[in-house]
Structure 1
Amino acid sequence: MTNGIAAIGECMIELSGQSSQVWRMGFAGDTFNTLWAMRALSPGHHVDFVSAFGDDPFSADQIAFFREHDIGIASSPVIPGARPGLYAIKLTGAERSFTYWRGDAAARQLASNAAALAKSLENRSLVYFSGITLAILEPAARRTLLQAIATARAHGCHIAFDPNYRARLWPDVATAREAIGEALKVTDIALPTFPDEQELYGDASPEVTIARLEKAGVAEIVVKNGEHDALISHYENTVSVPAVSVLPVDTTGAGDSFNGAYLSARLLGIAPTDAVKRAHRVAGAVVQVRGALAPFDILKLAFDR
């Protein structure tokens, strides 16, 4: 077993509005945002973003951006004629709204080559994916992905999963519940957000979310809840950890960065409660920066404080 980390999903072109006529272009996406934090906070680990890419100039720029920050793409396919998805952020105060153009994004083909996907997940200490990763795939591709993840787990890899439910990406609630249920069967660390779980399952409280995921067989669970306490269950030992109080500028990527900081801390051998404290600090730093990706030095300063 090596010390490699892989995140699986879609990295999009991000347009963030600075004014009515000026936009800043970057790259972001839920699992990539988490991997970005792990790249900053997990020195000594090789990290790869596992997806599918186009052969257009924006895809080339995206891969070059990854390379510039020591993030590889493993054996991810480059698909002729494909291109990245795109989204734009509009802010009202610190809260954000999104508009997406992603129907034919290359990442939807990330499981099109089962052998390449399996190779990308070989010899990993940790693999991370999300409900959005599942939602952008057709059912057969979803099954291919989960089989590759199950194989990696059987070879000693730890699997982390954020259900990250987004209703607009799923045809219906039943399909989302079924797919997420299958993902939980191969999950060691679950990192749900309570409002998402409330929307998808009708959970009355984070405690109900914990109980449901424990019943599904997940050994380590952290339920995020925005500015409220996070609730941890580690082998059914449940602890509440208060969030930090900050004045947010832009909440984009806060939960993703929380996940990256938590997983980085756990890879360092830090206990779950202390790992959540670090994750809260990192999320608190991220919401004071515009865009999904905070500079590495800001992430490290918050993590090590």
Structure 2
Amino acid sequence: MNDQSTLTGKKYDVVALGEALIDFTEAGRSPSGMRLFEQNPGGAPANLLSALSRLGAKTAFIGKVGQDMHGRFLRMTLEKVGIDTRGLIMAENVFTTMAFVSLNGGEREFSFARKPGADTCLAAGELNLEVLDNTAVLHIGSLSLTDEPVRTATYAAVQRAKKAGAIISYDPNYRASLWSSREEAVLRMREPLPLMDVMKLSDEETELLSGYRDPEKAAKELSDRGIGLIAVTLGKAGALVCRKGECRMIPGYDLPATDTTGAGDAFWGGFLCQLLKSGKPLEAVNLEDAASFARFGNATATICVSRRGGIPAMPILQEVIRLMQR
């Protein structure tokens, strides 16, 4: 049996480090009028890997959950999607992180149970080095930069994977309630930028990461800082991509949104999948390539938001192709 990915020849196409958590998503009212919440597996890195796995990539997760009903559910869910969980730590002494998500017209409001949550307790000594040494891409988000010891573990993982030749991918994924202040968030979220090769951010995060609210100005500023490939997601409008200071808008697809949970993760999963499938080293990717990757990412995200939840909503390759052909 061949243990290498068909996309990259590496054991893993993408490894993601960070949070796997439970999204308790608002799901109607009880007979007595109380709000009901549905248990959905989530967490941006886990969502991203689910999108990639459903699209045919070989993936692995590094993180920590509790040895509890939610942690066991998350591990089972990741494995069911095809994500390698040998880097997932099941902790006896801390509870799995939870996020309660209320929906208003498809938009979300978060309330986290994370004081601390298991994801913040991953230590550098617990990293699975064999996984980090054998991936084409390592992806991180900013939620693993909010607390110690996971912040130190994240930087250790980035340095290890980078030394082994991996592309380093970053999604800031700003959640205001998880930071002590906006100033701390800006400081911590900008710190890893010199280590990043590719980056996805939303139009709500442009000013935080670059100092510019305008997506094109923000992308050019990040490009000037040395980030090789940047995508800014713009909701229904689609996405803007930037390569070596040149930018292009890629329109989205027009389908009704049911739940925007995981939209950015689905987009970036589709984008990274096409980047890897192109077979091009990052330095050979041009703006036309980036636009093609973003079109595929837009289609992946469009299908995701037409369904409920994050991980359960990720489409398979054939669904994305059908939407693009329409």
User: Is TM-score (shorter-chain normalized) higher than 0.5?
Assistant: yes
Q: Using the TM superposition, give the Cα deviation of residue 159 of structure 1 relative to its aligned residue in structure 2, in angstroms.
A: 0.9
Residue 171 of structure 1 aligns to a residue in which SS? coil
Q: Alpha carbons of 1:101 and 1:141: their partners in 2 closer, same or farther (altered >3 Å)?
A: closer
Could you tell me how far apart the structure 1 residues matched to 2:226 and 2:67 are?
41
Between the aligned residues of both structures, percent identity stands at 24
Other-structure match for 2:135: 124
Contact 2:61 2:87 in 1 (8 A): no
**1:37 offset after TM fit, Å?**
0.3
What pairs with 1:90-169 in structure 2 (closer than 5 Å)?
A: 90-110=102-122, 112-114=123-125, 116-135=127-146, 137-138=147-148, 141-169=150-178
In the alignment, structure 1 residue 2 sits paired with structure 2 residue 2: no
2:291 maps to amino acid? T
In structure 2, C-alpha distance between the alignment counterparts of 1:297 and 1:131, rounded to whole Å? 25
CA change 1:295–1:226 in 2 (3 A) is closer
Aligned partner letter, 1:26:
N
Deviations 1:130-188 (A, max 9, x none): 112222x22x6423321321221122101110112222222233332332222111111
What residue in structure 2 maps to residue 302 of structure 1?
320
Which residue in 2 is equivalent to 1:282?
Answer: 300
**Do the aligned residues in 2 keep the contact of 1:89 with 1:98 (CA within 8 Å)?**
yes
Q: Secondary structure at the match of 1:51?
A: strand
Q: Is residue 66 of structure 2 the alignment partner of residue 54 of structure 1?
A: yes
Q: Distance in 2 between matches of 1:210 and 1:273?
A: 14
* 1:196 equivalent in structure 2: 205
Q: CA shift at 1:285, angstroms? A: 1.1
Question: How many residues matched?
Answer: 300
CA distance in 1, matches of 2:247, 2:137: 23
- Counterpart residue number, 2:194: 185
* Partners of 1:124 and 1:34 in 2: CA distance: 15
Q: Give, in angstroms, the shift of residue 27 of structure 1.
A: 0.7
- Extract unaligned runs of 5+ from structure 1: none
Whether the aligned pair in 2 keeps the contact of 1:261 and 1:303 (CA below 8 Å) is no
1:207 aligned to 2:216? yes
Native 8 Å contact 1:285 1:299 kept in 2: no
- What is the alpha-carbon distance in structure 1 between the residues aligned to residue 113 and residue 317 of structure 2? 29
Q: Give the CA RMSD over aligned residues.
A: 2.2
The letter for the 1-side match of 2:115 is G
Matched, 1:272 2:271: no
Stretch of structure 1 that moved more, 187-196 or 13-22: 13-22
**Residue 176 of structure 1: aligned partner:** 185
Does the residue aligned with 1:52 lie in a helix, a strand or coil? strand
**Alignment TM-score, normalising by the size of structure 1:** 0.90
When residues 181 and 62 of structure 1 are mapped into structure 2, their CA distance, relative to the original with a 3 A threshold, is: same
SS where residue 252 of structure 1 aligns? Answer: coil
**In structure 2, C-alpha distance between the alignment counterparts of 1:197 and 1:89, rounded to whole Å:** 23
For 1:251 and 1:30, locate their aligned partners in 2 and report how far apart those are by CA, in whole Å: 12
Contact persistence 2:169–2:196 (CA under 8 A): yes
- 1:64-99 Cα distance to aligned partner (Å, 9 max, x none): 222222212233332222221112222222222222
Structure 2 CA distance for aligned equivalents of residues 300 and 254 of structure 1: 18
Cα distance in 1 for residues equivalent to 2:313 and 2:191? 35
SS at structure 1 position matched to 2:151: helix
- Kept in 2: contact 1:193–1:225 (CA 8 A): yes
Find 1:81's aligned residue among 87, 93, 97.
Answer: 93
Closer/same/farther in 2, CA of residues 300 and 182 from structure 1, 3 Å limit: farther
TM-score, normalised to structure 2's length?
0.84
